Structure 1
């Protein structure tokens, strides 16, 4: 090989090596593209069509060069965004009876933290129908009560009763503007220690959008204080009964409270128990009419018996005068049994013949009571009974009545003092010899130990 040829080859090699050492160009960075956000409803700019305040909002996002990892959402105020990884939420928009304009925003966020610069949004004109509310028929307290009252109501909403979240109530004695809240699951309230005087109770319903019922349920009644340790229950529609028994008690000089059952005992068992067991009474005198008694009714039967049982279990005393006990119990034998157990009566029979004539008497079988009580008014209908083993008879019918059933008992038997005295005949009609005042005095002061 000639020298010239060798030099040429070496030159080519050097050039090739030098060419291979040239630096590669720098890569051009690719900018991250932000995600896009979409709503499952089209944006609305027309505010003439309205919707309810409770709305389910749904959205989704797409990222052209990565993935969506979450979303920011906002309602009305885009300065306060809420982070979520969900694509759905239920929102309760504030609503009124006229349209309120709301806006909902959503923006997607990708895996590099980029946010949708143009959030999706929708205009939502909401309107809510106010709920309605009224008292449950027949449940209002009587027009005069002791310092306890229970109110029951029912509410409805055209947007769905399930949208009602609770109730606001107040008494006129509450500070101005103060309302008490009750959750929707409870549609009644029992108010205790009510200030005596004319009182007004108001209750409103409120739904989940914050709309309050336009019309309230309102009830005005009179509250009287409980006085003394003796409660007299006037359960008779006969004016002669009122005058007779109350005159005797007035002459005894004891302080007492009167509970007049004009139509029925209160609907609420809480009110019944509150009067019997929460007013500080030690003795109850309960007298009924001849043909009818409210001692038992469809609403309060067991409740009343249970309250009186608790009253007696707490060591208090009961005098019941009723010739209509069995006629006004419930429809089942269990209801009658519950009442008879309370009164310690083993068997009880309605007597319609023979009559007790004004020439006859009932006779004492207890030496501490007057020997006889003479009939002062024809007794056409009354009840005879036999006490159970824990009680003892006080008075029995004359011998022309088979078996001479009892018409009066005391419990417990063979005790120095009684806790319960029951007469199944109207004492007012056994007063020809003016002995009933003596009987009352003995029962209340000696048997029951009532203080003057």
Structure 2
């Protein structure tokens, strides 16, 4: 009985083993064909190495689960090859970027269908293509420029967002295009790839907030090639100390002396008198150009341009510098004769200043007009104090008033502090603002539209004391 049982078990085991090794209905692998693709070419007509290739599969005893593709690149001049591994996709097409680093490259592309049992087409569909050499893109940094200096703060503010970095890329290949960029600051790692051609660098992007710094930018093209020689610039960051109280900027041209045409020494003596008791440094623009380093040390820039000029005053040559200074918390005290003349859009008055201009955005002046009385109409001003013209300084002994003085229409959050006093009671000017005060969240600006040198010295001293008392917090 036991012998018979052993025989039966052996027969059943043999039958079961035979079913596994020789199934009655073995799986039939799928097959694959390429569709809607460029035809095979020759070496005289190579394709740009980005090709969209379509395929399809068929499975007679199941269904197609997906596809696997790969390619091999034969570098015909160098004699070596590049290989890829199988890539799986459920889609019936893909855009393939072929490696094409030799002068002429032979690409062998293969794709095979995968069925629901995981079996692959044992004879993948193939196609051969020739592709030419593709070269790396080139990258250029437009800002900063090499050697630039930038003000910086410990953290971004309403007006200072950071250091702007702007760049572009170029791909010389026919059919090529730059698709993204990466940048590196100091010793920090390369950034993620991005399509934007600009970025604002914030304090945390730098190794430190003073001294020299380096930024590099590289581009990548639509074949995946990166610029092997990234663009690089060096620049300096300057953290303003503002440890000094005031910088007096002399933008008044040196005259021949006498009424209406004071010498540089006469103007210097006047400002030394009305600023007696204040700590300040002087910068004469006729000697050298104003620097960021000079501004960075001072809480206030007191700028005077007291000569009568129909030419552009220097202040408008320093708009970018003054904007940067104000953006990091500086204070500007500015006045003079015909200062706004060349800022006018039409170089004539009255005129309206547009958003985006220095006058509108930073001085907070919406419009201005200027009297044109030959012998003068401006007797002085009223407001935070009374100012009277010093008739002994006027050009003509017949004059008792100044001419070419500006009246202003202030912008938002700006307060008139001085009002025009007219000799002729001209309603276009009499009682209109000729001095304004902008008190901002980051910076302050005081502007007046007349030359302070031609005001009675005691009156000018009182006016300056009132303004500096607020800007500096002290009254002398």
Give me the TM-score of the superposition, normalised by structure 2: 0.58
Map Cα deviations across residues 282-334 of structure 1 (whole Å, 9 max, x no partner).
7564556853368889x98xx979x97x99xx9x9653325332641457846
Map Cα deviations across residues 103-124 of structure 1 (whole Å, 9 max, x no partner).
5331123466542212234456
Determine whether 1:180 maps to 2:191. yes
Instruction: Give the drift of 1:206.
Output: 1.7
Instruction: Give the drift of 1:35.
Output: 3.4
Aligned equivalent of 2:183, options 169, 182, 185: 169
CA distance in 2, matches of 1:256, 1:226: 18
Map Cα deviations across residues 89-114 of structure 1 (whole Å, 9 max, x no partner).
12334554756776533112346654
Change beyond 3 A, Cα 1:286–1:376: same
Instruction: Give the drift of 1:161.
Output: 8.7
Aligned equivalent of 2:199, options 168, 189, 192: 189
Aligned equivalent of 1:253, options 261, 271, 279: 279
**Count, aligned residues:** 390
Determine whether 1:422 maps to 2:447. yes
Change beyond 3 A, Cα 1:253–1:83: same
CA distance in 2, matches of 1:355, 1:161: 70
- Which position in structure 2 is the counterpart of 1:363? 380
- Indicate if the aligned counterparts of 2:375 and 2:403 stay in contact, CA closer than 8 A: yes
CA distance in 1, matches of 2:238, 2:432: 38
Point out where structure 1 has 5 or more consecutive residues left out of the alignment. Answer: 1-27, 267-275, 413-418
SS class of match (2:450): coil
SS class of match (1:179): coil
Instruction: Give the drift of 1:217.
Output: 4.1
Instruction: Give the drift of 1:56.
Output: 1.5
Determine whether 1:34 maps to 2:29. yes
- Which position in structure 1 is the counterpart of 2:464? 440
Change beyond 3 A, Cα 1:126–1:321: same
Root mean square deviation of aligned Cα: 5.8
- Which position in structure 1 is the counterpart of 2:123? 118
CA distance in 2, matches of 1:387, 1:60: 73
Map Cα deviations across residues 225-252 of structure 1 (whole Å, 9 max, x no partner).
3121768696969689999789868973
Instruction: Give the drift of 1:205.
Output: 1.6
- Indicate if the aligned counterparts of 1:346 and 1:387 stay in contact, CA closer than 8 A: yes
Matches within 5 A, 1:6-21: none
- Which position in structure 2 is the counterpart of 1:335? 354
CA distance in 2, matches of 1:117, 1:337: 68
Determine whether 1:108 maps to 2:125. no
SS class of match (1:440): helix
Map Cα deviations across residues 392-419 of structure 1 (whole Å, 9 max, x no partner).
553645626845566743559xxxxxx7
- Indicate if the aligned counterparts of 2:389 and 2:456 stay in contact, CA closer than 8 A: no
Map Cα deviations across residues 177-226 of structure 1 (whole Å, 9 max, x no partner).
x4334511x21122344643344443222224332235654444444331
Map Cα deviations across residues 17-68 of structure 1 (whole Å, 9 max, x no partner).
xxxxxxxxxxx96765533323345897977865444321222334577765
- Which position in structure 2 is the counterpart of 1:383? 405
Larger radius of gyration: 1
Change beyond 3 A, Cα 1:283–1:350: same
Determine whether 1:212 maps to 2:226. yes
Determine whether 1:325 maps to 2:340. yes
Change beyond 3 A, Cα 1:233–1:201: farther
CA distance in 2, matches of 1:380, 1:363: 8
SS class of match (2:467): helix
Give me the TM-score of the superposition, normalised by structure 1: 0.60
Point out where structure 2 has 5 or more consecutive residues left out of the alignment. Answer: 1-22, 73-81, 153-161, 256-262, 396-400, 439-443
CA distance in 1, matches of 2:40, 2:298: 68
Map Cα deviations across residues 124-183 of structure 1 (whole Å, 9 max, x no partner).
6564332233345x9859944323532323323245798423223334xx128x433451
SS class of match (2:354): helix
